[in-house]
Amino acid sequence: MKVVVVGGGIAGLAAAHRLEGILPVSQSEIVLLEQESGLGGKIQTERVDGYVIEAAPDSFLSRKERGVGLCEELGLADELVGRRPEHERSFVRRGHVLYPLPTGLTGMIPTNFDALAGSELLSAEGKERLAAEVDVPPAPAGGDESIASFVSRRLGPEAYERLVEPLMTGIYGGDGEQLSLRATFPALRTFELEYGSVVRGLLAQPSDRGTWPPPFASLRGGMGELVAALVRDLRRTELRTSSGVSTVRPSPDGGYLLETTSGEMIAADAVVLAIPAFAVAELVVGFDDELATAHGEIPYASSAVVTLAFRSDDVTHPLDGYGYVVPRSEGSDVLACTWTSRKWAERAPDDAILIRVYLGRFGGRDVTEERDRDLLALGRLELELLGIDAGPQLTRIHRWPRGMPQYVLGHPERLRRIELALAEHPGLAVAGAAYRGVGIPDCIRSGEDAAETVARSLAASLG
């Protein structure tokens, strides 16, 4: 039995890892094909001169079980770290002013109205409207709704624009008018239906404060440690980098035939495609056009991360917090600015400050097409708002063209079409950020689920 995993991001690595655990050692062969020269996909950490620089993700939600769970299985439990508690606060930038996020947020939503009362982020009317959420009747059962429509309907348009939209954009880089509530935050609709109120629903949930692991977890040496540990633990998977796959077809003898970009044909009994949706569409077009079309309909946002380091002496701003988010209504390319060395310990030398500026909005211009010096200029312009105009000691630019799938309205139906199409192809499964969660734990779970799916189908074919 030969299983080929296409894609060496976290979903593909997790799929291979799970396959090693469930396929019989003596009768199975696992090959992972990755088009780039390195593994990890979006998870890339550089360690240089005392800095820990993340190219994309810097942490993950620990309440989603497979992030912490996999770290523990890989012996990384002692490497898990939380954000620095002494700087625990974040801001929303409006114009040149940073407004502290009200304390007592549960996810993106204020549930502590006393704390909200002191916040300058919302007007008095905005706060009143938000407090009236408990009295807003639930919408009748119906189709999908955008995040913008749902949150404005329940909490008021101001709470959406000034609070929820910028926080949500920090996760998806997306446009709340287009993002599907059912595909992104289904629990909010459940709370509306079950508790008659999102706020009441959130308050009824067990609190994760004060527990270990912390709600946002990272690894001491950066997220790349997870990839390195996974790769170390893959004992019998043949890892082939610089091996892009260009087509997947059913083989006349059963199973599948994959063609690599160098023209090599590889036969497999089962295949896990752990690559972005647009890449799946390219691979399967001509073999299953409906599968290709449904994948091709999943849009992606492009973004860039500009990382800058400064001597502490050159920064007069107190940077007392984790950073800030920028609402879409500001008309800026900047989504967020993270004060990395304030958020995480051991990310910069003691006499230095590390900052990340996250740029690029879905529906806006494609920042990944900008030249390095223009992206750097955008980053530095943003930091001038903090009074930082000194020359940086170090800079890094990471571009993520079509880097973040967007679960726009209709996403749940697209997933159903994909499932229906896949049901016709036993031994073929998909995994990764395009489907049921973009976060690292979601991607791990989807890789593991895909591994289980193809293992079941192999077992069934053997009778």
Ligand X SMILES: Cc1cc2nc3c(=O)[nH]c(=O)nc-3n(C[C@H](O)[C@H](O)[C@H](O)COP(=O)(O)OP(=O)(O)OC[C@H]3O[C@@H](n4cnc5c(N)ncnc54)[C@H](O)[C@@H]3O)c2cc1C
Q: Give the helix ranges, DSSP H, for 1-138.
A: 10-22, 65-73, 113-117, 124-131
Nearer to ligand X, 274 or 309 (CB): 274
Using CB under 6 A as the binding rule, whether residue 10 contacts ligand X is answered as: yes
Handedness of CA 179, 183, 187, 190 (dihedral sign): positive
In angstroms, the Cα distances linking 205 to 29, 191, 197 are 44, 10, 13
Report, in Å, the least distance between residue 319 CB and ligand X.
Answer: 19
Q: Which of 56, 68, 348, 429 binds ligand X (CB under 6 A)?
A: 56
118-126, 204-212, 233-241, 435-443 -> range binding ligand X (CB under 6 A): 435-443
Residues 6+ apart with CB under 8 A from 269: 1, 2, 3, 254, 255, 256, 427, 458, 461
Using CB under 6 A as the binding rule, whether residue 52 contacts ligand X is answered as: no
Query: Which residues from 280-319 bind ligand X, rule CB under 6 A?
Result: 303, 305
Beta strands 256-260 and 265-268 are antiparallel
Instruction: Go through 128-141 and write b for each residue having 16 or more CB atoms within 10 A of its CB, e for each that does not.
Output: ebbbebeebebeee
Report, in Å, the least distance between residue 59 CB and ligand X.
Answer: 5
Nearer to ligand X, 159 or 298 (CB): 298
CA distance 39 to 16: 13
Residues 241-260, one symbol each (x = binds ligand X by CB under 6 A, - = not), give ---xx---------------
Using CB under 6 A as the binding rule, whether residue 7 contacts ligand X is answered as: yes
Q: Which of 20, 29, 36, 452 binds ligand X (CB under 6 A)?
A: 36
CA distance 417 to 291: 8
**How big is the site for ligand X, counted in residues (CB under 6 A)?**
36
Query: Which residues from 345-404 bind ligand X, rule CB under 6 A?
Result: 400, 403-404
CA distance 377 to 304: 13
Residues 6+ apart with CB under 8 A from 26: none
Using CB under 6 A as the binding rule, whether residue 274 contacts ligand X is answered as: yes
Q: Which of 6, 71, 130, 198 binds ligand X (CB under 6 A)?
A: 6
Nearer to ligand X, 203 or 345 (CB): 345
Q: Which of 276, 299, 321, 379 binds ligand X (CB under 6 A)?
A: 276
Using CB under 6 A as the binding rule, whether residue 9 contacts ligand X is answered as: yes
Burial label, 438 (beta-carbon count in 10 A; 0-12, 13-18, 19+): buried
Using CB under 6 A as the binding rule, whether residue 60 contacts ligand X is answered as: yes
Q: Which of 16, 43, 271, 376 binds ligand X (CB under 6 A)?
A: 43
Report, in Å, the least distance between residue 112 CB and ligand X.
Answer: 25
Using CB under 6 A as the binding rule, whether residue 406 contacts ligand X is answered as: no
- Measured between its terminal Cα atoms, the distance across the chain in Å is 14
CA distance 383 to 390: 10
**What tokens were used for 266?**
């590889």
Using CB under 6 A as the binding rule, whether residue 167 contacts ligand X is answered as: no
**What tokens were used for 185?**
């935050």
Using CB under 6 A as the binding rule, whether residue 432 contacts ligand X is answered as: yes
Contact residues for ligand X, defined by CB under 6 A: 6-12, 33-36, 41-43, 56-60, 244-245, 274-276, 279, 303, 305, 400, 403-404, 432-433, 438-440, 443
